[in-house]
Amino acid sequence: MARFKELAELFEELEKITSHKEIVRKLAGFFEGLKGNEVRDSAYLFLGSIGPAFENTTLGIKDRLAIRAIAGAYGVPEEEVIRKYAREGDLGDVAFVLSEKREASLTIEDVFERLRQIKEASGKGSQEEKTGLLSDILQKATPEEGKYIVRLVLGRLRLGFGDQFLLEAFSIAFTGDKKHAGKIKESYSVCTDIGKLAKTLAEHGARTPGNFSIKPGRPVKSMLSQRVESFEELEKRVQGKKAAEEKYDGERIQVHKDGDWIKAFSRRLEDITAQYPDIIEAVKKSVTVDKIVLDGEIVAYAELEKDGNRIEKFYPFQRLMQRRRKYEIEKYREKCPVAVFFFDILYLNGESLLKKPYPERRALLEMHVAVQGIVHLARRTITENIEEIEDFFNETVEKGLEGIVVKSMSSGSVYEAGKRSWFWFKWKQEYSEGMRETFDLVVVGSYYGRGRRRGSFGALLCAVLNEEEQRFETLTKVGTGFTEADAEEINSLLSAHIASEAPKNVSIKKGMLPDIFIEPTVVIEVLGSEITNSPGHTAGEGKEETGLALRFPRFLRIRYDRGPYDATTVKEIRDLKDGA
């Protein structure tokens, strides 16, 4: 059985490597030497987790409990651990310093199982149980092992790469050739459990990709829309009949039903069932079919009476975010009423519908979802006439919606999980107002504020994702659009991700160095008016290409529903500039 010490030593190596190819090579070499559940467990651990994103994998240990466990493991007072923590800045490093040298005996399975036990400890006395379980395994660990066990428990592994590196490594390790990476990535968009995918690849090699299907309980990655520059381009892109659907300013949701069992997942594949009990109750009433998976959008919404007429009131995304909470759910259920607008069906009674064309999927959606209460279907119009689509767009804007999504009605209009598909195109209000685009940017640094912003940030350094290198490259500094409440909330979010130096997966030029470096975690939506060449930024920079910058950026909102690897990409930025 593989020793955890070998994994810990690889963690140490990977922290220092910046080359994409070298990281993938090291990962592939490690996976080649594993068998059975070691493959699955290691895949999770490389991402700092003990399971897929759609499972609750929080271990329930924060600094206070970790300090107590470290003190107990190494027989020192808690005050000494706290002093060393203040000096080292990392509790994993504190464990390394305090640990005695010993022979490695822990296996990957030992550590993984212990992390599972820590997670599952619940109820009265669970904090003491969690502390004891962590303390016990630290006593058995080498200094290197202890360092990374503590980081894993606290969710602070921070190796500087995401799941795409693992998928490339799987291709080399389990199929013998990197050329299969594309198919493996497609499989991962459907089988979003990276541990299961890794184990299946280890067992079946190149035959694995394409064999996975959607099923209730395991969400697929959402299909996304392409951008267009004008209605004229829209007409060229979508020939013949097209459906224009309302685009809602809410939270993407995937609802899975299997009998009375119903779960809701976010675009980031997180289980958000507990946050929307009203949606779950409503789906039980309006969907009578046994097994189904639905794609839709939750919005802050109310139906009002005015002069005897029913009026729909759509509230901004920020209001909906009040519902993203663990406590006081019933209070905020009343304070912030919501509705769900379904626009697609992905699975029905044992059959995947991902390969069915959009018109067929929409017909099935209308057949099996009853519009009642807070359950709705996305309103749409079907036409070949672009002027009618413009009229429909204007109607949506008057209602306070974001805009429209125009969808192909062709026989090939399948659901492309995880892709920004050429079958869907979005057109938002900002485009019609002359503003170029909204961007989902990752915060990678901050600059000290002055005047009324003293003690907070004055501007945020923001980056886009270079998909090929899986690296974040700076695009702009954002200093406008923040309310005091926004600034307070952002400061709170960023405080947990401060880094002592530029993270290795972030590219920043010397002249753009921020006062504070931030691990790429928090995503914000930014409105901008123009993309220009810039020698000061690294976005899209290459041998024959200068960097790109976003002019006149303005903060719109925090995107809790986006992770760093969901950010706007360098390719999208380059395409927008070239199409201008």
CATH of the domain at 392: 3.30.470.30
- Assess if residue 148 is contained within a domain: no
Closest CA to 375 of 513, 282, 443: 282
- Assess if residue 339 is contained within a domain: yes
Cβ 514 vs Cβ 461: under 8 Å = yes
Tens of pLDDT, residues 107-137? 999 999 999 999 999 999 999 999 999 999 9
CATH of the domain at 557: 2.40.50.140
Q: Are residues 421 and 441 in the same domain?
A: no
- Which of residues 409, 432, 455 is at a domain's end? 432
| Measured distance CA(302)–CA(295) in Å, rounded | 21
Which pLDDT value is given to residue 211? 80
Closest CA to 378 of 361, 391, 353, 390: 361
Which pLDDT value is given to residue 73? 95
Which pLDDT value is given to residue 132? 96
Q: Are residues 407 and 508 in the same domain?
A: no
Q: Are residues 455 and 378 in the same domain?
A: no
Q: Are residues 475 and 367 in the same domain?
A: no
> Amino acid letter at 557?
R
Closest CA to 198 of 225, 242, 234, 166: 166
- Assess if residue 10 is contained within a domain: no
Q: Are residues 418 and 556 in the same domain?
A: no
- Assess if residue 265 is contained within a domain: yes
3-state secondary structure of 518: strand
3-state secondary structure of 500: coil
| Measured distance CA(466)–CA(164) in Å, rounded | 12
Which pLDDT value is given to residue 107? 95
- Assess if residue 462 is contained within a domain: yes
Q: Are residues 366 and 449 in the same domain?
A: no
Indicate left, alpha or beta for 459 from its phi (over 0: left) and psi (-120 to 50: alpha): beta
Ranges of the chain whose pLDDT falls below 50: 580
Q: Are residues 345 and 390 in the same domain?
A: yes
- Assess if residue 121 is contained within a domain: no
- Which of residues 379, 413, 432 is at a domain's end? 432
| Measured distance CA(411)–CA(530) in Å, rounded | 37
Sign of CA dihedral 64, 59, 166, 40: positive
Domain count of the chain? 2
Looking at 147, 185, 247, 407, which residue is catalytic? 247
Q: Are residues 249 and 334 in the same domain?
A: yes
**How many helices (H) and strands (E) would you count in the chain?**
21, 22
Q: In the predicted model, what is the mean pLDDT of the chain?
A: 92
Q: Are residues 470 and 374 in the same domain?
A: no
Catalytic, 247? Answer yes
| Measured distance CA(344)–CA(420) in Å, rounded | 16
Which pLDDT value is given to residue 133? 97
Cβ 405 vs Cβ 424: under 8 Å = yes
Tens of pLDDT, residues 197-226? 999 999 998 787 778 899 999 999 999 999
Which pLDDT value is given to residue 580? 47
Q: Are residues 566 and 444 in the same domain?
A: yes
| Measured distance CA(553)–CA(438) in Å, rounded | 9
Domain that holds residue 313: 224-432
- Assess if residue 105 is contained within a domain: no
- Which of residues 432, 464, 487 is at a domain's end? 432
- Assess if residue 263 is contained within a domain: yes
Q: Are residues 365 and 507 in the same domain?
A: no
Q: Are residues 355 and 496 in the same domain?
A: no
